[in-house]
């Protein structure tokens, strides 16, 4: 399995986990989605540089 496929699967799981759909996670605010955004930006930069 190529590394990009593994990264895409992990990113999808993180995106699903960042959705504040459960009662205990509604008070988290933008924290989880902000972390996902940073991870997306880093992966996009690495992809554009050809490191992935």
Q: What is the pLDDT of residues 1-52, one digit of tens each?
A: 587 788 778 777 777 776 666 677 667 766 766 777 787 788 878 878 887 6
Whether 10 contacts 31, CB under 8 Å: no
- pTM (predicted TM-score): 0.52
What range does the domain containing 16 cover?
3-49
What is the total count of domains within the chain?
1
Tell which phi-psi region holds residue 19, choosing left (phi > 0), alpha (psi between -120 and 50) or beta: beta
**pLDDT of res. 41:** 82
């Amino acid at each position: 399995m190529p590394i990009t496929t593994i990264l895409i699967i992990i990113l999808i799981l993180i995106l699903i986990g960042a959705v504040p759909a459960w009662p205990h996670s509604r008070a988290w605010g933008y924290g989880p989605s902000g972390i996902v955004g940073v991870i997306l930006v880093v992966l996009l930069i690495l992809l554009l540089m050809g490191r992935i």
